[in-house]
Amino acid sequence: MAGLEKNAEFSGKPTKSATTSTFFNRSNTIHGRTVVDSSPKSHNLNPSLNRTTSITKFYTPVESVGTSLKGKVKNLCRLFEGSKSAKPASPEIPQKQKSGKSLLPESRISPFSSLNNSVIRLPGTEDRIVVYFTSLRGIRRTYEDCYAVRMIFRGFRVWIDERDVSMDIAYRKELQIAMGEKSVTLPQVFIRGKYVGGADVIKSLFEIGELAKILKEFPMRQPGFVCHCCGDIRFVPCSNCSGSKKLFDEDEDRLKRCPDCNENGLIRCPDCSS
């Protein structure tokens, strides 16, 4: 019998004792089943638990990072080398004519030099500064320009003949006749009867200091001066009709239009606007 068992082992055929031992060896069978069945289930339940795939997905080799950084460094080096090699642009020197006069625009040489050659004149204002403006805030840009020009002149404490076209329509017609146009922007400034310009011109003259030289010729007022009659509004109610614009004519027994006041029942302040 012993010889038969040895022959069976060498021949590779399972004997009865071998089959019984494998049948009762449950640890081997259970281990084989768990290995085979657990591996596919673990992949199918949650793919994110597979650490090998997640690492290979987000892992980038160091060599590729090094090459990208090298390329960026080279580009930066070229940029700085180009800026160093570039020569600074030389400032433009104004060319001169044969007569020695520069070719710069006249406004940069002397912005107020064109005033003497102004064709637009305002008769009867050769001794004052006249500013046409509006006190209405319908158009924000226009109101801000008018306010800025008025504050510039008031900062020099010189007396200004302020003519508000929104308070008296006669000023609008007067400006249109002087400018020769129907549509005129505000503000507009006249100095000694000569036309200067609008807000942009006055601001530029003020910034370069040219306006201060011109206003030295005008007398200065006391600091903080305010007209006690009109409060610097330049208008007061008409004393003839009390601002009603109507007068009763006893001869004709009817109401008539007041000839002294404007369309708003106002007249110029007799104290500060004379």
pTM for the full predicted model: 0.59
Q: 163 near 131, Cβ under 8 Å?
A: yes
Q: What are phi and psi of 239, to 5 degrees?
A: -80, -15
**Beta-ladder partners of 235:** 268
Q: 90 near 146, Cβ under 8 Å?
A: no
Q: 263 near 218, Cβ under 8 Å?
A: no
C-alpha dihedral (186, 192, 194, 196), degrees to nearest 10: -50
Distance of CA 64 to the CA centre of its chain: 45
Q: What is the pLDDT of residue 67?
A: 56
> Can you tell me the distance from the alpha carbon of 142 to that of 37, in angstroms, rounded to the nearest whole number?
86
User: Any idea what DSSP says for residue 197?
Assistant: E
Query: Which is it for strands 194-197 and 254-257: parallel, antiparallel or unpaired?
Result: unpaired
> Can you tell me the distance from the alpha carbon of 210 to that of 52, in angstroms, rounded to the nearest whole number?
80
**Distances, alpha carbon 241 to alpha carbons 170, 172, 213, in Å:** 19, 24, 44
Residues 6+ apart with CB under 8 A from 170: 262
User: Any idea what DSSP says for residue 190?
Assistant: E
> Can you tell me the distance from the alpha carbon of 274 to that of 263, in angstroms, rounded to the nearest whole number?
20
pLDDT (tens place) for every residue of the chain, 274 residues total: 444 444 444 444 444 444 444 444 554 444 444 444 444 444 454 554 455 544 444 445 545 545 556 666 666 566 555 544 445 454 444 444 444 443 334 444 454 555 666 789 999 999 999 999 999 999 999 999 999 999 999 999 999 999 999 999 999 999 999 999 989 999 999 999 999 999 999 999 999 999 999 999 899 888 888 899 998 889 999 999 999 999 998 888 899 999 999 999 999 999 887 6
Q: 137 near 166, Cβ under 8 Å?
A: no
Q: What is the pLDDT of residue 116?
A: 61
Q: What is the pLDDT of residue 1?
A: 47
User: Any idea what DSSP says for residue 49?
Assistant: G
The position carrying tokens 């017609």 is 173
Which tokens in the block code for residue 233? 């509004």
Which tokens in the block code for residue 213? 């030289």
Which tokens in the block code for residue 189? 């400034």
